[in-house]
Structure 1
Amino acid sequence: MKMRRMVAALVATGGIIGFTGCGTAEDAPVVDTQADKGLEVMGEAVTYDPNRLVNDGQPISVEYWTWGNAATDPIYTMIQEYEKIHPNVRIDVNVVAWDDYWTKLPLSLKGNKNAPVLFNVHNSYDSLIRPHMESYDIPLEDLEDDYVFVDTHVDENGEVKYIDSVINTGAIFYNKDLWAEAGLTEADIPTTWDELIEVAQKLTKFDGDTMVQSGFNLNSEYTAIWQGLNYQRGALMFQEDGHTANYDCETTKENLEFLKTLYDDYKVASVKFGDDNELSFGNGQTAMTYSWGSYVGTLANNYPDINYGVFSTPSFSEETPFAYDRYNGESTPGINIHQSDEQKAVAQDFIRFILANDDYIRLASDVLNSFPGKKALQDDPEILADPMMAAIAPRLDRLIWPGPAPSTLETSPVIAFENVFQNGQDIDSAVAYAQSLIESDMADSDFTSMESRYAHYDEHL
């Protein structure tokens, strides 16, 4: 959106920042009589022809809700581009703080005439908003031809209400300066966990009995890494029924024991070395850590002087595992099913415009530090020049998504980790307790795992 068109209004009781039109003649949508813009048709399977009138060229305004700003949400830029092509359309942006977004959006969508027509989607809140979402008016086969992992978003009617624009997963971030001090080079980048342990030992420093440099710190990352480790060994997050959590299993215990050896036997990590591995890495006290692509942005903003690299997360052997890790996608916008046919038609047109437009995916990949979901851009040299993208690319086919799993699958295992590593509880008891928490939290959940849609599902334990 053009900043001259935005007026920020903070609603004190609601935490909403509204970016709305000023109402000037220059800003108002105008009648469009020029169907042929002389522009090329975009896209491959999903195409967009800009040389036609939207809403018969008559002025129309729609609203888009998001929790992001122009630096984190690529839709801002795409709105600008769309409005240049269709001057009769105006898309106003309303920014709602994340903590308020998932309360206010579902309430607003329930038939409220002031509700947005388009809105930012996070798949973890799928169950809240899905009943109010209209399916995309794009053939499923076209979406699947252009984008990966579309099948994980197909509903019982064979339709989709959003897909993944970009994909993210975990990787190992390493401090290049600390590596050089230890005499390590890129030739020492590990591909197995045993190799990582050897490297981590060379990167760990003590002053007497006090650790002053951690070789591999994951003190606040168990919530993410446990899932990847279990997948590597062929265990699913959910049992065969797709509803019951599979945290209390031998694989979880085996992996907790493995992580415990890093702390107790190899002594490359310590629970006394702070509870925030990302902060420790950013401050140059940790040589290696596991994190997801969003950490690239954190480092750029908060620790710009850190000289770091990224490599793919190791696995337990040189053989290809069941899956290397879990992934998650950044979702494309949703369309409010309750709004007028005219507004929904504009929203459908805008969705087709962004999905056919490579610029949208390039921008999303850049600002969200994530790998393109669009197949045509997955070998792009400019994108692969980013080390995080290069780490994800060769493993894309071996990443698995469990679906929008309830948050208890992240929070409850952390309690198990703390009970084992900080409170000295035995692993069996800690894992069983976490499983009971998960089952209690999911007692009324109708969540169904998407793991069965994974291309290599039949290889699991």
Structure 2
Amino acid sequence: MPIAGVNVTYDPNTLVNDGKPIELDWWAWTNVEQFQAIADAYSEIHPNVVINVVNQPWEDYWTKLPLELQSGGGPALFNVHNSQHENLIANMEPYDIDPADLEADYAGAASHLIDGETHYIDLGLMSGAIYYNTDMWEAAGLTDADIPTTWDEFREVAKALTIRDGDQLRQAGFNFNSGGHTMQAGLAYQLGQNLFEADGSTPAIDNEANLEVIQRFVDIYADGSGDPDFGAAGTDSFGQGLSAMTYAWGWFSGTLKNDYPDLNWSAFQTPVPEAGETPYALDRYNGESTFGINANASEAEKEVAQDFLRYFLTDAESMKELSLIFSVFPAYKPIADDPVFAENPALAAFGEIDRYIWPGPIPATFETTTATMWEEILFNGVAPEEALAAAQATIEKDLSGKDFVSSEGLYAFYSGN
């Protein structure tokens, strides 16, 4: 059989576990059928190996898996979400693959290096885009030529898409309710502002860049193009056909397909501050992670797991299928130009892939605290300057004594604050 892969390679013409029977469990919380199909295809090459994909619901996964691993048990393979990095990393076996080969084949792989070792990488990348209702777009007399590339243009398009009956908002031009914190974490990068100071540990929230981001969207609501009380969540309002535009990450395309199949929509790249100028970074991104290997597994299980890992990382068709299922831009560079990805508007909305920045598995306080900050601004009339200062203080307190260090410094265009 041919050797697969480009830099990371897989040779199927070798015995695994000396041909002796062996069985591994692989825990997953979603897409179990697809993962089992990959495991079964591997078993067709190595009939002595059986890999059972075990469905562990998300609600229990992050309680059950860390406890199993910490007690020295657990499955040989388990799917990873990088938000749970600290709960898993101590019990993860490093990948037996040259990090340089991983970086050559997988975008962003270097950002997951810890002391020269890799324990998981991204199989696909997800970031934000502007979703728009194409029926509302056409009804407003807009065409593809009107897709905004700057925030000033976006503000005018939001006005054009807004419908009011007197003082009553009937159709929001743009709705970011419950999503302000998601935008906040990424769009200050457009202005050259990192989430962390140069030491990688001190949060950088209370600054002019974040204030500008807040004021931009406060002004759009002040125009009358949206309202904090017009639906609890912008994404829900969009799906219900009440709002013409919203900001969301790639997962939203799957939600629209499943929950709102009759809605006509598309997406475009998030606008930037200045026309014709590439910003420091377009937005932050996060990844759909590859699986981890249990450091407590037997030597035989780890040997098979490492072999299966190479098979998994060089299986181009499965990587393409998983990227489409998860609505992520493929991290596997050999398939990045496949035209099938241009058929998904959310993936096609990605800009230059190397202009997105990953801050690392940032602590949850960033999301919860900035979500509270936006509630204070929109519903309690707190001045943005005060809300930012309060958020800065809260996040600093929450991170006190923690060992978190940002991955921002690994960004190819990194510039410290």
TM range (shorter): over 0.9
Residue of structure 2 in register with 1:402 after alignment: 359
Helix, strand or coil for the counterpart of 2:313? helix
Match of 1:258 in 2: 216
Q: 2: CA distance between counterparts of 1:259 and 1:184?
A: 22
Conserved 8 A contact 1:173-1:308: yes
1:120 pairs with 79, 83, 88, which one?
Answer: 79
The answer to whether 1:144 aligns with 2:103 is: yes
Q: Which amino acid aligns with 1:242?
A: G
C-alpha distance after superposition, 1:299-327 (max 9, x if no partner): 01100000001110001112110001000
Give the one of 305, 320, 327 matched to 1:347: 305
Aligned to 1:97: 57
**Distance across 2 between alignment mates of 1:111 and 1:219:** 42
Q: Following superposition of structure 1 onto structure 2, how do residues 58-137 of structure 1 map, counting pairs within 5 Å? A: 58-70=20-32, 74-113=34-73, 115-137=74-96
Of 324-333 and 87-96, the range deviating more from structure 2: 87-96
Task: Say yes or no: does 1:313 pair with 2:270.
Answer: yes
CA displacement at 1:99 relative to structure 2:
2.2
Match of 1:369 in 2: 327
Where does residue 139 of structure 2 map in the other structure? 181
Provide, for residues 419-461 of structure 1, a one-character-per-residue CA deviation record: whole Å limited to 9, x for no partner.
Answer: 1111011122211111122122212321100111101112x55
In angstroms, what is the RMSD of aligned CA positions?
Answer: 1.2
Instruction: Indicate conservation of the 8 Å contact 1:118/1:336, yes or no.
Output: yes
CA distance, structure 2, for counterparts of residue 417 and residue 370 of structure 1? 27
CA distance in 1, matches of 2:99, 2:14: 23
Deviation of the 1:110 alpha carbon? 2.3
Q: Structure with the greater relative contact order (CA < 8 A, sep ≥ 6): 1 or 2?
A: 2
Q: Report matched runs for 1:154-193 at 5 Å.
A: 154-156=113-115, 158-193=116-151
Q: Which stretch of structure 1 is more off in the superposition, 235-244 or 248-257? A: 248-257
TM normalised by structure 2 equals 0.97
Largest Rg, 1 or 2: 1
Q: In the alignment, is the contact (CA less than 8 A) between 1:401 and 1:451 conserved in 2? A: yes
Q: Deviations over 1:23-75 (max 9, x none)?
A: xxxxxxxxxxxxxxxx221111111111221111111001111111336xx42
What is the identity, as a one-letter code, of the residue corresponding to 1:222? Answer: G
How far residue 237 of structure 1 moved from its aligned partner, in angstroms, is 0.4
Instruction: Please give the alpha-carbon distance, in whole angstroms, between the structure 2 residues aligned to 1:430 and 1:76.
Output: 47
Work out the CA distance in 2 between the residues paired with 1:140 and 1:212.
Answer: 53
- Structure 2 distance, partners of 1:174, 1:454, is 30
State the distance in 2 between where 1:449 and 1:141 align: 21
Is the Cα contact below 8 Å between 2:83 and 2:362 reproduced in 1? yes
SS in 2 for 1:457: coil
8 Å contact from structure 2 (residues 192, 281) kept in 1: yes
Find the aligned partners of 2:330 and 2:187 in 1 and give their Cα distance.
24
Q: CA deviation at 1:77?
A: 2.3
Aligned residues: 416
State whether residues 32 and 53 of structure 2, in contact with CA within 8 Å, keep that contact through their aligned partners in structure 1: no
Contact 2:126 2:328 in 1 (8 A): yes
**Cα deviation code 1:245-272 (max 9, x no counterpart):** 11111211122112111111x2211001
Give the TM-score normalised by the residue count of structure 1: 0.88
Farther off after superposition, 167-176 or 378-387: 378-387
Residue of structure 1 in register with 2:240 after alignment = 283
CA contact (8 A) 1:111 1:338 kept: no
Q: Which residue of 2 aligns with 1:51?
A: 13
Residue in structure 2 matched with residue 8 of structure 1 by the alignment: none
Give the CA deviation at 1:384: 2.2
Helix, strand or coil at the partner of 2:199: coil
Alignment partner, residue 244 of structure 1: 202
The alignment partner of 2:279 has SS state of: coil
Counterpart among 253, 261, 265 of residue 296 in structure 1:
253
**SS of corresponding position for 2:204:** coil
- The Cα shift of 1:111 comes to 4.5
Query: What is the CA distance between 1:206 and its match in structure 2?
Result: 0.8
Aligned counterpart in structure 1 of residue 383 of structure 2, from 395, 401, 426:
426
Shift of 1:104: 1.1
Distance in 2 of aligned mates of 1:426 and 1:143: 46
Provide the secondary structure at the position in 2 that maps to 1:320.
Answer: coil
The aligned residue for residue 26 of structure 1 is: none
Task: Tell me, yes or no, if the aligned pair for 1:48 and 1:353 is still in contact at 8 Å.
Answer: yes
Q: For 1:215, which of 160, 164, 173 is the aligned residue? A: 173
Structure 1: runs of 5 or more not aligned: 1-38
- The answer to whether the 8 A contact 1:110-1:338 is kept is no
SS at match of 1:91: strand
Please say if residues 111 and 339 of structure 1, whose CA atoms lie closer than 8 Å, have aligned partners that are also in contact. Answer: no
